[in-house]
Amino acid sequence: MVQNSRTHAHVVGSMRSPDYLADARRALAFGETTKAEFKRTEDQAVDEAIAAQQAAGLKLINDGELRRLVFIDPLTSAIEGLGPAQHVQHWRKPDGSVVERTLPIAVVDKIR
């Protein structure tokens, strides 16, 4: 196989968020952790995403978009009244088990 020196690969979009980061987001939303503790957890997840890309030999790496709360940031940043959800949703998986998730964003005040 002839390799083209211009051929490359990189991550486009987001990498899967580790469960411990979702747990930390929920803890932050419920006031069970501090912003500083959450930032350390978030930094750990980003460091792991970068390490995974480096281990795969990628030359162009990113943070895996793990710092984004939601993927419609331009819209949510322009609207006042949105914030972290304060309630847990229960989702039933096909195998019958239940997963608890806190939605990343909710209406928390008058929308402006």
Q: Give the residue extent of every domain in the chain.
A: 12-68, 70-112
- Between the alpha carbon of residue 68 and those of residues 25, 31, 109, the distances in Å are 11, 19, 21
Three-state DSSP class for 78?
coil
Q: pTM, whole model, 2 decimals?
A: 0.61
What local confidence, expressed as pLDDT, does residue 1 receive?
A: 44
What local confidence, expressed as pLDDT, does residue 6 receive?
A: 65
pLDDT digits (tens, 9 = 90+) for 1-51: 445 556 667 777 788 889 999 899 888 877 889 999 999 999 999 999 999
pLDDT digits (tens, 9 = 90+) for 63-96: 988 888 766 667 777 889 888 777 778 878 788 8
DSSP 71: T
